[in-house]
Amino acid sequence: MAHTCRWGILATGASPLLELFPQGPGSPARTPEAPRFAPPRTGWISTKFVLDLLADPSTRDVSDVRHEVVAVGSRSRESAAKFVESVWKEAGVTEGQDKVKTHGSYDELFADANVDCIYVGSPHSHHYAHVHAALSAGKNVLCEKSLVVNAAQADALIQLARAKDLFLMEAVWTRFQPYSYKLQEVVRSGVIGQVKAVQAELCADFTSQSDEHRLRNPYLAGGALLDLGLALVLLPPSEASSEPLPVPKVAASVLKTTTGVDESVIAGLTFKQSDGRLVHGSLTTAQDRQTAPNRCSYIQGTQGYIEVAFPTYRPRAFTYYGWDQPEDFSAHASGDSSKKPTRTETFEFDERPGGIWGFAWEADEVARCLRDAKKESERMPLRESLLMMQVFDEIRRQGEFVFPEELETLELQ
């Protein structure tokens, strides 16, 4: 029989923009004539995540686990109720809607005995406090990326989850998409030889967002890095993401927005492999421009390469090109058209199987882990979340970019 995971959802989208806007030093001034670009809209990710939970797992060929949303928590009960009404309507589902408990505070949600796992969909600025409170209340947690704001906070949450013997995972959804497993299989098969470098890019033009928006607001831990910077970890085949590794060397350049968060980051990373080899990575992420739709991320090997189609968070396809002899690959790259790849194949992926956005795959992983009493996912282990935060810390250090003190602290406000 399929194992059922009973979810409690944190964050629904109650907050009007004015409430979101914190009054702190350095906050951009709000004046009546200040331009308002973005309509107040929040709870984006929670909506999509719940839509996926409501989809029938059999439409994505999953039969061993299923999901039930048993509770929704918001800072306002009214918003929680509105969320349930609108999301269930959008999903075209009526069954079970009346059984969803709506909580008017996150603490109420954490205390709900029916909930197996809390999904945290609040802004990065609040992940540390929200995950800490959920774990302290004895709940398993799936937390949106980025897990927290810095490595010290990541480490503290990992220690807390272990001390409480609870499950914790960062919601890196791309890791669980069918594309990701296939890519890993192809890299491990050796068709491109030994991996030498991974180039990843994820840029999205958010310049039309207002300064108060979580993407630009330092008090909501805005900036490109925490929002989009996981691009490199999204490419699992590199050995860099499957072995426990030391923190890579980082050489980074950071440009900032007028609100003081990172607008554009280009970073070179050097990963030391367990056999001593060095693998290079490059990470480009920005919120002031768009990655072109035909732009690919690359995995370069000694005997070929792999092109992963944009968008990096949910690639539609990838193609590998492999040569038997490295010299033939070099000759081909230098223009010798007679040296065709010995092997090449393109894999395409259904973007929305069964209508899901793609978040259901990570939810299935959580359900399986809970069923099997695992406290951590082997596919998105906590050491990788910690490693990413360590890399981000170093990028921010080199870019002279700190978040407001109250966000960087381990103290709970």
Ligand X SMILES: NC(=O)c1ccc[n+]([C@@H]2O[C@H](COP(=O)([O-])OP(=O)(O)OC[C@H]3O[C@@H](n4cnc5c(N)ncnc54)[C@H](OP(=O)(O)O)[C@@H]3O)[C@@H](O)[C@H]2O)c1
Out of 112, 116, 144, 211, the residue judged to bind ligand X by CB under 6 A: 144
Give the nearest distance from C-beta 315 to ligand X in angstroms: 13
Q: How far is CA 288 from the centre of its chain?
A: 19
Q: Where do the H-state alpha helices sit in 293-358?
A: 326-333
Out of 34, 44, 188, 410, the residue judged to bind ligand X by CB under 6 A: 44
Q: Which of residues 214 and 280 has its CB atom nearest to ligand X in the complex? A: 214
Q: What is the CA radius of gyration of the chain?
A: 22
The dihedrals phi and psi of 288, each to the nearest 5 degrees, come to: -110, 5
Binding mask 301-320 for ligand X (x = CB under 6 A): ------------x-------
Cα dihedral 258, 261, 264, 270, rounded to 10, equals 150
Site size with ligand X, rule: CB under 6 A = 25
Q: Where do the H-state alpha helices sit in 17-110?
A: 17-20, 44-54, 77-91, 106-110
Give the burial class of 368: count Cβ atoms within 10 A of its Cβ; 0-12 exposed, 13-18 middle, 19 or more buried.
middle
Give the burial class of 276: count Cβ atoms within 10 A of its Cβ; 0-12 exposed, 13-18 middle, 19 or more buried.
exposed
Q: Is residue 184 within the footprint of ligand X (CB under 6 A)? A: no
Give the nearest distance from C-beta 406 to ligand X in angstroms: 12
Q: Which of residues 275 and 411 has its CB atom nearest to ligand X in the complex? A: 411
Strands (E), 226-355: 249-256, 262-272, 278-286, 296-301, 304-309, 317-322, 343-348
Out of 60, 145, 216, 379, the residue judged to bind ligand X by CB under 6 A: 145
Q: Is residue 222 within the footprint of ligand X (CB under 6 A)? A: no
Give the nearest distance from C-beta 118 to ligand X in angstroms: 13
Q: Are 137 and 103 in contact (CB under 8 A)?
A: no
DSSP 8-state code for residue 365: H
Out of 116, 201, 211, 227, the residue judged to bind ligand X by CB under 6 A: 227
* Stretch binding ligand X (CB under 6 A), from 41-49, 150-158, 186-194, 237-245: 41-49
Q: Is residue 11 within the footprint of ligand X (CB under 6 A)? A: yes
Q: Is residue 199 within the footprint of ligand X (CB under 6 A)? A: no
Residue 18 one-letter amino acid: L
Q: Is residue 79 within the footprint of ligand X (CB under 6 A)? A: yes
Q: Which of residues 128 and 305 has its CB atom nearest to ligand X in the complex? A: 128
Q: Is residue 134 within the footprint of ligand X (CB under 6 A)? A: no
Residue 222 one-letter amino acid: G
Q: Is residue 43 within the footprint of ligand X (CB under 6 A)? A: yes
Give the nearest distance from C-beta 346 to ligand X in angstroms: 24
Q: Is residue 173 within the footprint of ligand X (CB under 6 A)? A: yes
Binding site for ligand X (CB under 6 A): 11-15, 20, 42-45, 74-75, 79, 121-124, 126, 144-145, 173, 214, 220, 227, 313
